[in-house]
């Protein structure tokens, strides 16, 4: 794994939570976009050595909506940057790690992403994240 790329945080209301990150914590927003494949609106915040990814569900069917319903707002996943996601997924599978998908899927910022099942990772939902264009 390369360094931690970002920490994903589930929020009910993007606008309200952005107020907190920008005005209370004094951080800056890098980008806001909608990621259809995951049914979420995403904001990346620059926390200098790592990014914070706010995830707001766009519908009840979004996995993030289900997460908030079950566990409330808060830390959802931790993402490791990787350089060859398909090879990395294969290696993890061979080591007995359960992945939530067989093929990487499109994530925010043009990245390819895959998730490791929390049951394989001592309770943490880890994301593998490969940037296909720039950082
Ligand atoms: Zn993420």
C-alpha–C-alpha distance, residues 62 and 132, integer Å? 25
For the chain, the residue count is: 135
User: At which residue do the structure tokens 């806001």 appear?
Assistant: 32
Q: Sign of the CA dihedral 105, 129, 126, 35?
A: negative
Residues of the chain with pLDDT under 70: 133-135
Between the CA of 54 and the centroid of ligand 1 the distance, in Å, is: 9
pLDDT at 48: 93
pLDDT at 76: 97
pLDDT at 114: 96
Between the CA of 69 and the centroid of ligand 1 the distance, in Å, is: 19
Between the CA of 37 and the centroid of ligand 1 the distance, in Å, is: 12
C-alpha–C-alpha distance, residues 123 and 131, integer Å? 25
Tokens representing 125? Answer: 């939902």
Between the CA of 23 and the centroid of ligand 1 the distance, in Å, is: 23
Between the CA of 131 and the centroid of ligand 1 the distance, in Å, is: 12
pLDDT at 133: 59
pLDDT at 2: 85
Q: For 1-35, write each residue's pLDDT tens digit.
A: 889 999 999 999 999 999 999 999 999 999 999 98
pLDDT at 135: 47
C-alpha–C-alpha distance, residues 39 and 120, integer Å? 24
Question: What do you get for the CA distance between the two ends of the chain, in Å?
Answer: 17
Contact 9, 76 (CB under 8 A): yes
Between the CA of 8 and the centroid of ligand 1 the distance, in Å, is: 5
């Amino acid at each position: 794994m390369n360094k931690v790329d970002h920490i994903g945080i589930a929020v009910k209301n993007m606008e309200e939570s952005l107020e907190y990150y920008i005005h209370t914590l004094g951080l800056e927003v890098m980008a806001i976009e909608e990621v259809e494949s995951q049914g979420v609106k995403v904001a990346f915040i620059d926390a200098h050595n790592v990014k914070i990814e706010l995830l707001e569900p766009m519908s009840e069917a979004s996995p993030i909506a289900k997460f908030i319903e079950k566990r409330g707002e808060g830390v959802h996943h931790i993402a490791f940057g990787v350089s060859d996601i398909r090879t990395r997924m294969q290696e993890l599978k061979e080591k007995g790690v359960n992945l939530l998908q067989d093929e990487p899927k499109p994530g925010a910022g043009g990245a390819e992403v895959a998730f490791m099942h929390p049951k394989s990772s001592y309770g943490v939902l880890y994301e593998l994240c490969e940037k296909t264009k720039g950082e």
